[in-house]
Amino acid sequence: MNFISQAIAKPASNIRQEDIENYIKKNGIQILNLCYIGSDSRLKSVSFPTTNSLYIGKVLSRGERRASVFLHSEIKVESTRIIPKYQTAFLNPFAKDQKTLNILCECRNKDGDPLTAAPSTVLDKAIKRFKDKTGFNLTAAGELEYFVLYPKNKETLKTTFKHYDATAPFTIYEDMRNEIVQILTLLGIPIKYAHSESGKILLATNSTNSMNLNAEQHEIEFLPTPIDEAADDIVIAKWVTCNVAQKYGVSVTFSPVVEYGKSGNGLHFHLELIKEGKNIVLDENGNLTTEVKRVIGGILLLCRSLCAFGNPVPTSYLRLIGKKETPYGICWGERTRKAVIRIPEVIDNTSGTIEFRTADTTAVVHLLLAGLTIAAENGLTDDSSLEVAEKLHSTEEEMKNKELSLLPQSCREAANKIKKERDYYEKDGIFPTELIDSIIHELKSYEEVLPQDEDILRHPAENIEHPACPATAVAMAEREKVKQLIEKYIYYYPFSF
């Protein structure tokens, strides 16, 4: 995000406090928002009127104290200081009556050290060790999916459920999506493209129908940036999406599923391995390099415990077991959408990526990317990772005949996996022990209702011979439980306080 760098024509690394103070004065900024990212991956802010320039100078210099809002049992009584990162300043596009400047902050403790529980601190530490241990860098590009929930009476045109790449009038909220993209671009967030996704759901049989709503899916894809910036970009993009939706008088959901068995909201990340400023995912012949195969092996070794960060709510696992272009077996392959890692087709050998497909849009983004960074480092430094990658390679056809290890099927299973593999994440204090404990506790606290028979849940009438048989009643009761679970978490953010 380089809004302020463009606005004052100065490299981001050279932006100082006086630059922000000058921008506030010259542009008539009335409100300064110090923003930070909470445990729930939502943007938080504290607002300061700018009328007292001397006081604003002190705020920009020393930051501000906040009560702890991070998921970490030992610091709930410890104060947090949010310190502005000047290069992240951007003009708030949604401030109606007061011209407002937002600045992202880093979080520090009372002694001035990085706050161990802050998701951004965890990611920063993972990135530093990755660079120190391997000599490489990672970039990431997210794919953010969301559903627009809108009144059924807006559905004036009969449309097909095949909504992928649909344009108006066959999709209703194309203009809203394009406005989101325009705002993100103005904020300096690099966008690859945006489009209508496959989900077009008429919620006639869903309990959400009590709200008289339908659902239409869209996606925004980002260009690769340093992995810490990629995490911030996703958080800002979700914030922008919700604000624009409010303007249009609709709501959006980042829920993993809106209706069981239909397309859900994924949060895929394309990763690049960078050496001396060059992408080395592919060699000159277009083949994966040995280093990248090691990264793949490292991620596959830890992909089950990564679900603790990337799939943190009960409905995350309805998406995974629904098998609608979602991973279900632990493997990787070229162009297959059912593997944990996909190798997309590329136009040239300098733009290769590996796509991590497991996570959904309720992910705790900074912790997920910290976990992926740790897994990639483990792959590059563990001699067994190359063998793992070779063993777990599959084509989509081979996946049908292989007995693959499975991803977790519930939050409780994800909690057990992170508990078993916690040493990888806690090494060198990257993930605090108390933070992992808190995540395990949160994941195990959910009351989950998962389907007993996927086929019956999806198509009960086609799979049960007689509607009066006892199995029908069981299946219908099971469907109703799943509907209630989806509705319960449709607007839910994990790890919220």
Q: What is the pLDDT of residues 137-151, one digit of tens each?
A: 999 999 999 999 998
> What residue spans in the chain does CATH classification 3.30.590.10 cover?
124-457
- As a whole number, the mean pLDDT across the chain is 89
Report, as an integer, the average pLDDT of 257-266: 90
pLDDT digits (tens, 9 = 90+) for 30-53: 999 999 998 899 999 999 999 999
* pLDDT on residue 104: 97
The better pLDDT of the pair 69, 444 is held by 444
- Residue 254 · residue 265 · CB < 8 Å: yes
Residues 484, 448 contacting (CB under 8 angstroms): no
Q: Which residues pair with 221 in a beta bridge?
A: 143, 193
Looking at the DSSP bridge assignments, the partners of residue 45 are: 35
Q: Kindly tell me if the per-residue pLDDT of 470 is higher than 80.
A: no
Query: Minimum mean pLDDT among 16-20, 128-132, 153-157: which range?
Result: 153-157
The SS3 assignment for 41 reads coil
Q: Residue 460: pLDDT band by 50, 70, 90 thresholds?
A: very low
Q: What is the pLDDT of residue 477?
A: 74
- Over range 475-489, report the average pLDDT: 81
Report whether pLDDT(495) > 90. Answer: no
Q: How confident is the model at residue 459 (pLDDT cuts 50, 70, 90)?
A: very low
pLDDT interval class at 155 (50, 70, 90): low
User: Is residue 255 pLDDT above 60, yes or no?
Assistant: yes
Task: State residue 467's pLDDT score.
Answer: 47
User: What architecture is domain 124-457?
Assistant: 2-Layer Sandwich (3.30)
CA atoms of 261 and 209, how far apart (whole Å): 17
Model confidence at 218: pLDDT above 70: yes
Average pLDDT of the residues in 464-482: 62
d(CA 31, CA 46): 10
pLDDT digits (tens, 9 = 90+) for 397-432: 888 777 889 999 999 999 999 999 999 999 999 999
Which residues of the chain does CATH 3.10.20.70 include? Answer: 3-115
Are the CB atoms for 446 and 453 separated by under 8 Å?
A: no
Q: What CATH superfamily classification does 3-115 receive?
A: Glutamine synthetase, N-terminal domain (3.10.20.70)
> Does pLDDT of 297 surpass 90?
yes
**How buried is residue 213: exposed, middle or buried, by Cβ count under 10 Å (0-12/13-18/19+)?**
buried
Residue 451's pLDDT is: 61
At residue 75, does pLDDT exceed 50?
A: no
pLDDT confidence of 106, banded at 50, 70, 90?
very high
Q: pLDDT of 326-381, one tens digit each? A: 888 899 999 788 899 999 998 888 999 999 999 999 999 999 999 999 999 999 99
Side-chain-facing half-sphere of 144: CA atoms under 13 Å: 32
Q: How confident is the model at residue 192 (pLDDT cuts 50, 70, 90)?
A: very high
CA angle (307, 309, 311) in 5-degree steps: 50
Q: Residues 222-227: what's their mean pLDDT?
A: 97
CA 200 vs CA 52, 254, 368, 492: distances in Å: 51, 15, 28, 21
Looking at 202-325, which runs of residues are DSSP E strands?
213-222, 225-226, 251-253, 267-275, 278-279
